[in-house]
Amino acid sequence: MGDEGKRTVSTGTDQLLCEIEAGVATITLNRPAKRNALSNELTPALRKALLDADTDPGVRCVVITGAGRAFCAGGDVSGMGGNAAPSAAPNDAPKRTIDDAIRNLQQGQETLTLRLFDLSKPTIAALPGAAAGAGMSIALACDLRIAAKSAFITTAFANIGLSGDYGGSWLLTRLVGVARAKELYYTSRRVGADEGLALGVFNEVVADEELAARTQSLARSIAAGPPIALRYMKENLNRAVGADLRTALAMEADRMVRCTRTDDHKEAVQAFMGKRKPTFRGQ
């Protein structure tokens, strides 16, 4: 994988950048003046970029990061607060409007957070700075998180009178526990890099200037691994959250036996016996 050249992937907007090199797709939220807040242009592009990365055989690991000094500030607050129903609307129009809005948000969450959580390839969030609100949820939906020393997360929803979306309550609870997650949602306080590492929110904290290099090093190491086995590992671990032991054992057995039938497994055994590094082809 390491000798592949870099290629730039068009996302349809300069608010989202994507490059692929050595099996790693690096997706960059690119609204630094707005701290990479989500927008009607950026968010659909991100959904499509995730789907494209998932189906691209040349991608074995996905990195999501933000341009400038933030990861993602969540929703763009400047566009909120103008959703009142028109006064001349029929009596049932507000109800229809609410139902439509709920369905739209549910679909939006499933095609972003759920898609990212279930992506068939390992994912890494690289945080150069703040991850707030839905931006925090996106970071938590990734498999791993590397934070710069100046990075922090905050639920932020209470600050603007909202309860939270994009899966943050589910994802944060599983990382830090119910009581701590409630505290962080109720108070919207910032969790800095060192505390986030201690809580298990971050896998690693590095100096600000080392974030990009360390993230790429880890991503390329993962991308060089056995794609089929890694996909099954992720499935096992994701499903273990809601499954009992019997179900988890059955799934592990199924995926383990399937791995034994792969060329990658045979290559790994031969490489081990020959005392060399294996070359995995995802077959």
Contact 7, 17 (CB under 8 A): no
Q: Which two tokens stand for residue 109?
A: 């969450």
Instruction: Taking the CA atoms of 6, 219, 233 and 193 in sequence, report the sign of the dihedral they define.
Output: negative
Contact 148, 197 (CB under 8 A): no
- The 10s digit of each residue's pLDDT in 7-27 is 999 999 999 999 999 999 999
- The 10s digit of each residue's pLDDT in 156-169 is 999 999 999 999 99
pLDDT of res. 241: 87
- The 10s digit of each residue's pLDDT in 227-278 is 999 999 999 999 998 899 999 999 999 999 999 999 999 999 999 999 999 9
Question: How is the chain split into domains, by residue range?
Answer: 7-223, 227-273
Top pLDDT among 217 and 282 is at 217
pLDDT higher than threshold 50 for residue 90: no
Contact 144, 123 (CB under 8 A): yes
Across all residues in the chain, what is the average pLDDT? Answer: 92
Question: Of the candidates 120, 130, 107, which has an alpha carbon nearest to the alpha carbon of residue 44?
Answer: 107
**Gap between the terminal Cα atoms of the chain:** 15
- The 10s digit of each residue's pLDDT in 40-87 is 999 999 999 999 999 999 999 999 999 999 999 998 877 665 543 333
- The 10s digit of each residue's pLDDT in 125-164 is 999 999 999 999 999 999 999 999 999 999 999 999 999 9
How many C-beta atoms lie closer than 10 Å to residue 241's C-beta? 9
Residues 6+ apart with CB under 8 A from 194: 205
- The 10s digit of each residue's pLDDT in 251-260 is 999 999 999 9
Residues 6+ apart with CB under 8 A from 60: 1, 23, 24, 121, 122, 222, 223, 224, 225, 227, 230, 282
pLDDT of res. 96: 66
pLDDT higher than threshold 80 for residue 89: no
- The 10s digit of each residue's pLDDT in 170-226 is 999 999 999 999 999 999 999 999 999 999 999 999 999 999 999 999 999 999 999
Considering the domain delimited by 7-223, tell me its CATH architecture: Alpha-Beta Complex (3.90)
Q: What are phi and psi of 149, to 5 degrees?
A: -60, -30
How many C-beta atoms lie closer than 10 Å to residue 85's C-beta? 13
State which H helix or E strand residue 179 sits in.
helix 178-187
pLDDT of res. 5: 83
Reported as half-sphere exposure (CB side, CA atoms, 13 A), residue 60 has a value of 24
Considering the domain delimited by 227-273, tell me its CATH architecture: Orthogonal Bundle (1.10)
